[in-house]
Homo-oligomer: A and B are copies of this chain.
Amino acid sequence: MTIELRQVRYFVAVAEQLSFTRAARDLHLAQQSLSQQIGALERQLGVRLFDRDTRGTRLTPAGAAFLPSARDLLDRAEAAVAAVRRAGHSHLELGFLSSTANYMLPAIVRAVRARLPQVTVTTHDLAVADLVAGLRDGRLDAAFTRPPLVADLVTTTIADEPVCAVLPAGHRLAGRDSLRLAELAGEDWVLSPRESWPPWHEKYDRDFAAAGFEPRVVHRAAGVPNLLGLVAAGVGVTRLARSARSIRRSGVAFVPLAGEHAETVLAWHPGRVPAALREVVADLAATVELTELG
Protein backbone atom coordinates (compact mmCIF):
# COMPACT_ATOMS: atom_id res chain seq x y z
CA MET A 1 0.00 0.00 0.00
CA THR A 2 1.59 3.26 -1.03
CA ILE A 3 0.87 6.72 0.26
CA GLU A 4 -1.77 9.07 -1.08
CA LEU A 5 -1.24 12.51 -2.54
CA ARG A 6 -3.51 13.95 0.16
CA GLN A 7 -0.97 12.78 2.74
CA VAL A 8 1.87 14.23 0.72
CA ARG A 9 0.05 17.53 0.49
CA TYR A 10 -0.42 17.54 4.27
CA PHE A 11 3.25 16.72 4.83
CA VAL A 12 4.46 19.48 2.52
CA ALA A 13 2.17 22.01 4.19
CA VAL A 14 3.54 21.18 7.64
CA ALA A 15 7.09 21.13 6.32
CA GLU A 16 6.72 24.56 4.81
CA GLN A 17 5.01 26.15 7.81
CA LEU A 18 6.92 24.20 10.47
CA SER A 19 3.65 24.34 12.39
CA PHE A 20 0.69 22.02 12.49
CA THR A 21 -1.56 24.87 13.42
CA ARG A 22 -0.61 27.15 10.54
CA ALA A 23 -0.50 24.28 8.05
CA ALA A 24 -3.97 23.12 9.11
CA ARG A 25 -5.27 26.63 8.54
CA ASP A 26 -3.76 26.71 5.07
CA LEU A 27 -5.24 23.30 4.29
CA HIS A 28 -8.65 24.27 5.69
CA LEU A 29 -8.82 21.47 8.17
CA ALA A 30 -8.60 21.13 11.93
CA GLN A 31 -5.16 21.01 13.54
CA GLN A 32 -6.11 17.85 15.37
CA SER A 33 -7.03 16.13 12.09
CA LEU A 34 -3.72 17.13 10.56
CA SER A 35 -1.85 15.84 13.59
CA GLN A 36 -3.64 12.51 13.27
CA GLN A 37 -2.97 12.29 9.55
CA ILE A 38 0.73 13.03 9.83
CA GLY A 39 1.02 10.58 12.69
CA ALA A 40 -0.64 7.91 10.58
CA LEU A 41 1.68 8.66 7.68
CA GLU A 42 4.72 8.33 9.92
CA ARG A 43 3.49 4.98 11.23
CA GLN A 44 2.72 3.81 7.70
CA LEU A 45 6.21 4.75 6.51
CA GLY A 46 7.80 3.58 9.72
CA VAL A 47 9.71 6.86 9.72
CA ARG A 48 9.44 9.95 11.85
CA LEU A 49 9.15 12.96 9.56
CA PHE A 50 8.92 15.69 12.20
CA ASP A 51 10.24 16.28 15.66
CA ARG A 52 7.75 18.30 17.63
CA ASP A 53 7.14 19.57 21.07
CA THR A 54 5.30 22.42 22.65
CA ARG A 55 7.88 24.84 21.27
CA GLY A 56 7.30 23.94 17.66
CA THR A 57 7.90 21.57 14.82
CA ARG A 58 11.11 20.67 12.98
CA LEU A 59 11.83 18.35 10.09
CA THR A 60 13.83 15.28 10.90
CA PRO A 61 16.68 14.40 8.50
CA ALA A 62 14.39 11.82 6.91
CA GLY A 63 11.63 14.41 6.61
CA ALA A 64 14.03 16.86 5.01
CA ALA A 65 15.11 14.18 2.56
CA PHE A 66 11.49 13.43 1.69
CA LEU A 67 10.44 17.03 1.07
CA PRO A 68 11.86 17.56 -2.45
CA SER A 69 10.37 14.26 -3.64
CA ALA A 70 7.07 15.14 -2.05
CA ARG A 71 6.92 18.50 -3.76
CA ASP A 72 7.88 16.91 -7.06
CA LEU A 73 5.05 14.38 -6.74
CA LEU A 74 2.49 17.11 -6.16
CA ASP A 75 3.78 19.20 -9.04
CA ARG A 76 3.75 16.28 -11.43
CA ALA A 77 0.30 15.20 -10.37
CA GLU A 78 -1.03 18.70 -10.99
CA ALA A 79 0.70 18.84 -14.37
CA ALA A 80 -0.64 15.43 -15.33
CA VAL A 81 -4.18 16.46 -14.44
CA ALA A 82 -3.88 19.68 -16.42
CA ALA A 83 -2.44 17.82 -19.38
CA VAL A 84 -5.13 15.15 -19.45
CA ARG A 85 -7.80 17.80 -19.18
CA ARG A 86 -6.30 19.63 -22.14
CA ALA A 87 -6.02 16.38 -24.03
CA GLY A 88 -9.60 15.53 -23.17
CA HIS A 89 -10.95 18.83 -24.30
CA SER A 90 -9.16 19.48 -27.52
CA HIS A 91 -12.60 20.02 -28.99
CA LEU A 92 -15.85 21.27 -27.52
CA GLU A 93 -19.29 20.99 -28.99
CA LEU A 94 -21.34 23.79 -27.47
CA GLY A 95 -25.07 24.27 -27.84
CA PHE A 96 -26.81 27.58 -27.35
CA LEU A 97 -30.49 28.18 -26.87
CA SER A 98 -31.43 30.25 -29.88
CA SER A 99 -32.57 33.09 -27.69
CA THR A 100 -29.26 33.35 -25.91
CA ALA A 101 -26.96 32.70 -28.84
CA ASN A 102 -27.18 36.16 -30.34
CA TYR A 103 -25.67 37.96 -27.41
CA MET A 104 -23.83 35.31 -25.45
CA LEU A 105 -22.20 33.15 -28.08
CA PRO A 106 -19.55 35.65 -29.23
CA ALA A 107 -18.40 36.40 -25.68
CA ILE A 108 -18.25 32.74 -24.73
CA VAL A 109 -16.32 31.77 -27.84
CA ARG A 110 -13.88 34.65 -27.39
CA ALA A 111 -13.26 33.67 -23.77
CA VAL A 112 -12.73 30.01 -24.61
CA ARG A 113 -10.31 30.86 -27.39
CA ALA A 114 -8.38 33.16 -25.08
CA ARG A 115 -8.24 30.86 -22.07
CA LEU A 116 -8.20 27.48 -23.80
CA PRO A 117 -6.26 28.18 -26.98
CA GLN A 118 -5.69 24.50 -27.59
CA VAL A 119 -9.42 23.86 -27.72
CA THR A 120 -11.45 24.13 -30.88
CA VAL A 121 -15.13 24.90 -30.55
CA THR A 122 -18.16 24.13 -32.62
CA THR A 123 -21.29 26.00 -31.69
CA HIS A 124 -24.90 25.01 -32.32
CA ASP A 125 -27.87 27.29 -32.20
CA LEU A 126 -30.69 24.98 -31.10
CA ALA A 127 -34.07 24.67 -29.53
CA VAL A 128 -34.11 23.53 -25.94
CA ALA A 129 -35.35 20.01 -26.66
CA ASP A 130 -32.47 19.52 -29.07
CA LEU A 131 -30.00 20.83 -26.50
CA VAL A 132 -31.23 18.33 -23.93
CA ALA A 133 -31.10 15.47 -26.42
CA GLY A 134 -27.62 16.46 -27.53
CA LEU A 135 -26.28 16.54 -23.97
CA ARG A 136 -27.83 13.19 -23.21
CA ASP A 137 -26.47 11.37 -26.25
CA GLY A 138 -23.03 12.96 -26.13
CA ARG A 139 -23.21 15.08 -29.26
CA LEU A 140 -22.90 18.16 -27.10
CA ASP A 141 -20.31 18.75 -24.39
CA ALA A 142 -22.23 21.60 -22.82
CA ALA A 143 -25.19 23.87 -23.46
CA PHE A 144 -26.21 27.39 -22.57
CA THR A 145 -29.93 27.46 -21.96
CA ARG A 146 -32.70 28.21 -19.51
CA PRO A 147 -34.18 26.10 -16.75
CA PRO A 148 -36.11 24.07 -15.97
CA LEU A 149 -34.45 21.30 -17.88
CA VAL A 150 -34.40 17.66 -16.82
CA ALA A 151 -33.25 15.97 -13.63
CA ASP A 152 -30.50 13.92 -15.20
CA LEU A 153 -28.50 16.91 -16.43
CA VAL A 154 -26.33 19.08 -14.21
CA THR A 155 -26.65 22.86 -14.39
CA THR A 156 -24.95 25.89 -12.94
CA THR A 157 -26.43 29.39 -13.13
CA ILE A 158 -24.23 31.78 -15.03
CA ALA A 159 -26.55 34.77 -15.37
CA ASP A 160 -29.73 36.15 -13.93
CA GLU A 161 -31.78 38.93 -15.45
CA PRO A 162 -35.17 40.57 -15.20
CA VAL A 163 -38.15 39.14 -17.03
CA CYS A 164 -40.10 41.68 -19.07
CA ALA A 165 -43.57 42.04 -20.46
CA VAL A 166 -43.10 42.61 -24.20
CA LEU A 167 -45.75 45.00 -25.48
CA PRO A 168 -46.41 46.54 -28.88
CA ALA A 169 -44.89 50.01 -29.14
CA GLY A 170 -47.61 52.52 -28.27
CA HIS A 171 -49.39 50.11 -25.92
CA ARG A 172 -51.09 51.99 -23.09
CA LEU A 173 -48.78 50.31 -20.57
CA ALA A 174 -45.64 50.61 -22.65
CA GLY A 175 -44.37 53.66 -20.76
CA ARG A 176 -44.53 52.08 -17.30
CA ASP A 177 -41.32 51.55 -15.32
CA SER A 178 -42.55 48.11 -14.27
CA LEU A 179 -45.65 45.97 -14.31
CA ARG A 180 -47.16 43.11 -12.39
CA LEU A 181 -48.16 40.05 -14.39
CA ALA A 182 -51.74 40.34 -13.16
CA GLU A 183 -52.06 43.69 -14.96
CA LEU A 184 -51.88 41.80 -18.26
CA ALA A 185 -54.82 39.52 -17.49
CA GLY A 186 -57.08 41.13 -20.14
CA GLU A 187 -54.52 41.04 -22.97
CA ASP A 188 -54.17 38.73 -25.92
CA TRP A 189 -51.05 36.60 -25.59
CA VAL A 190 -48.60 35.04 -28.00
CA LEU A 191 -46.51 32.16 -26.64
CA SER A 192 -44.31 29.37 -27.94
CA PRO A 193 -45.91 25.94 -28.58
CA ARG A 194 -46.38 23.90 -25.40
CA GLU A 195 -44.80 20.84 -26.94
CA SER A 196 -41.61 22.78 -27.75
CA TRP A 197 -40.52 22.26 -24.11
CA PRO A 198 -43.20 21.13 -21.64
CA PRO A 199 -41.19 21.89 -18.44
CA TRP A 200 -41.12 25.55 -19.35
CA HIS A 201 -44.85 25.64 -20.03
CA GLU A 202 -45.53 23.91 -16.76
CA LYS A 203 -43.64 26.72 -15.10
CA TYR A 204 -45.57 29.33 -17.09
CA ASP A 205 -48.81 27.69 -15.94
CA ARG A 206 -47.71 28.04 -12.33
CA ASP A 207 -46.71 31.67 -12.87
CA PHE A 208 -50.04 32.61 -14.47
CA ALA A 209 -51.96 30.74 -11.79
CA ALA A 210 -50.07 32.65 -9.13
CA ALA A 211 -51.01 35.88 -10.91
CA GLY A 212 -54.63 34.79 -10.82
CA PHE A 213 -55.47 34.35 -14.50
CA GLU A 214 -55.15 32.05 -17.43
CA PRO A 215 -53.68 33.82 -20.46
CA ARG A 216 -55.80 34.13 -23.61
CA VAL A 217 -53.28 32.68 -26.10
CA VAL A 218 -54.31 33.84 -29.58
CA HIS A 219 -51.21 32.62 -31.42
CA ARG A 220 -48.30 30.30 -30.86
CA ALA A 221 -44.93 30.58 -32.61
CA ALA A 222 -41.62 28.85 -32.11
CA GLY A 223 -38.60 31.02 -31.53
CA VAL A 224 -38.07 34.40 -29.95
CA PRO A 225 -37.72 36.33 -33.22
CA ASN A 226 -41.12 35.10 -34.34
CA LEU A 227 -42.72 36.00 -31.03
CA LEU A 228 -41.21 39.49 -31.18
CA GLY A 229 -42.49 39.94 -34.73
CA LEU A 230 -46.00 39.01 -33.66
CA VAL A 231 -45.89 41.47 -30.76
CA ALA A 232 -44.62 44.24 -33.04
CA ALA A 233 -47.52 43.46 -35.38
CA GLY A 234 -49.94 44.01 -32.50
CA VAL A 235 -51.17 40.41 -32.41
CA GLY A 236 -50.60 40.11 -28.67
CA VAL A 237 -48.20 40.49 -25.75
CA THR A 238 -45.63 38.06 -24.47
CA ARG A 239 -43.12 37.62 -21.66
CA LEU A 240 -39.39 37.24 -22.24
CA ALA A 241 -36.05 37.69 -20.53
CA ARG A 242 -34.83 41.25 -20.98
CA SER A 243 -31.85 40.20 -23.09
CA ALA A 244 -34.26 39.26 -25.85
CA ARG A 245 -34.48 42.95 -26.70
CA SER A 246 -31.16 42.61 -28.47
CA ILE A 247 -32.96 40.53 -31.09
CA ARG A 248 -35.44 43.20 -32.09
CA ARG A 249 -35.82 46.75 -30.84
CA SER A 250 -38.30 48.29 -33.21
CA GLY A 251 -42.04 48.12 -32.65
CA VAL A 252 -41.82 46.56 -29.18
CA ALA A 253 -41.44 47.77 -25.62
CA PHE A 254 -39.81 45.77 -22.82
CA VAL A 255 -41.26 46.58 -19.43
CA PRO A 256 -39.84 44.72 -16.40
CA LEU A 257 -42.21 42.47 -14.49
CA ALA A 258 -41.81 43.12 -10.79
CA GLY A 259 -40.32 40.25 -8.90
CA GLU A 260 -39.65 38.08 -11.92
CA HIS A 261 -36.29 37.00 -13.19
CA ALA A 262 -34.83 34.43 -15.54
CA GLU A 263 -31.69 32.41 -15.19
CA THR A 264 -29.28 31.37 -17.88
CA VAL A 265 -27.52 28.12 -17.08
CA LEU A 266 -24.59 26.13 -18.34
CA ALA A 267 -25.72 22.50 -18.55
CA TRP A 268 -23.86 19.26 -19.01
CA HIS A 269 -24.18 15.52 -18.66
CA PRO A 270 -22.99 14.26 -15.26
CA GLY A 271 -20.81 11.66 -16.95
CA ARG A 272 -18.89 14.28 -18.94
CA VAL A 273 -17.99 17.22 -16.79
CA PRO A 274 -16.46 20.03 -18.88
CA ALA A 275 -14.26 21.19 -16.03
CA ALA A 276 -12.14 23.67 -17.93
CA LEU A 277 -15.09 25.23 -19.69
CA ARG A 278 -16.91 25.66 -16.39
CA GLU A 279 -13.96 27.58 -15.08
CA VAL A 280 -13.77 29.86 -18.11
CA VAL A 281 -17.50 30.55 -18.07
CA ALA A 282 -17.57 31.10 -14.32
CA ASP A 283 -14.77 33.62 -14.60
CA LEU A 284 -16.44 35.39 -17.52
CA ALA A 285 -19.79 35.51 -15.73
CA ALA A 286 -18.10 36.97 -12.67
CA THR A 287 -16.62 39.86 -14.66
CA VAL A 288 -19.23 40.58 -17.35
CA GLU A 289 -22.98 40.92 -17.18
CA LEU A 290 -23.65 38.40 -19.91
CA THR A 291 -27.25 39.42 -20.48
CA GLU A 292 -26.17 42.99 -21.26
CA LEU A 293 -24.17 41.89 -24.28
CA GLY A 294 -25.72 42.32 -27.70
Interface residues of A (CB under 8 A from B): 2-6, 9, 39, 42-49, 60-63, 65-66, 69-70, 72-74, 76-81, 83-85, 87-90, 270-276, 278
How many copies of this chain are found per oligomer? Answer: 2
Pairs A–B under 8 Å by Cβ, sample size 13: A2-B77, A2-B81, A46-B276, A46-B278, A47-B84, A47-B85, A48-B271, A62-B87, A65-B87, A66-B84, A66-B87, A69-B84, A72-B80
Q: Which of A42, A65, A278 has the most CB of B within 10 A?
A: A65
Cβ-neighbour of A70 out of B5, B63, B73, B80 (below 8 A):
B80
Beyond A60-B88, A70-B80, A77-B3, is A272–B48 a contact (Cβ under 8 Å)? yes
Task: Report the Cα distance A276→B46, complex, angstroms.
Answer: 8
Closest 3 CB pairs between A and B? A47-B88, A46-B275, A62-B88
Q: Please indicate the chain B residues that have their CB under 8 angstroms from the CB of A48 in the complex.
A: 88, 271-272
Q: Chain B's nearest CB lies how many Å from the CB of A34?
A: 16
Beyond A4-B4, A46-B88, A270-B43, is A69–B79 a contact (Cβ under 8 Å)? yes
> Which residue on B lies nearest to A272, using beta carbons?
B48
Task: Report the Cα distance A84→B76, complex, angstroms.
Answer: 19
Contact between chains at A2 and B5 (CB < 8 Å): yes
Q: A2-B74, A73-B80 are in contact. List 17 more A-B contacts (CB 8 A).
A: A2-B81, A44-B273, A45-B81, A45-B84, A46-B275, A47-B84, A47-B85, A47-B88, A48-B88, A49-B88, A66-B83, A69-B83, A69-B84, A70-B80, A72-B80, A73-B73, A76-B76
Q: Please indicate the chain B residues that have their CB under 8 angstroms from the CB of A66 in the complex.
A: 80, 83-84, 87
Q: Please indicate the chain B residues that have their CB under 8 angstroms from the CB of A63 in the complex.
A: 84
> Which residue on B lies nearest to A68, using beta carbons?
B80
Q: Please indicate the chain B residues that have their CB under 8 angstroms from the CB of A6 in the complex.
A: 4
Q: Chain B's nearest CB lies how many Å from the CB of A173?
A: 47
Beyond A62-B87, A80-B73, is A46–B2 a contact (Cβ under 8 Å)? no
Q: Please indicate the chain B residues that have their CB under 8 angstroms from the CB of A73 in the complex.
A: 73, 76-77, 80
Task: Report the Cα distance A59→B36, complex, angstroms.
Answer: 39
Beyond A4-B4, A69-B80, A70-B80, is A45–B88 a contact (Cβ under 8 Å)? yes
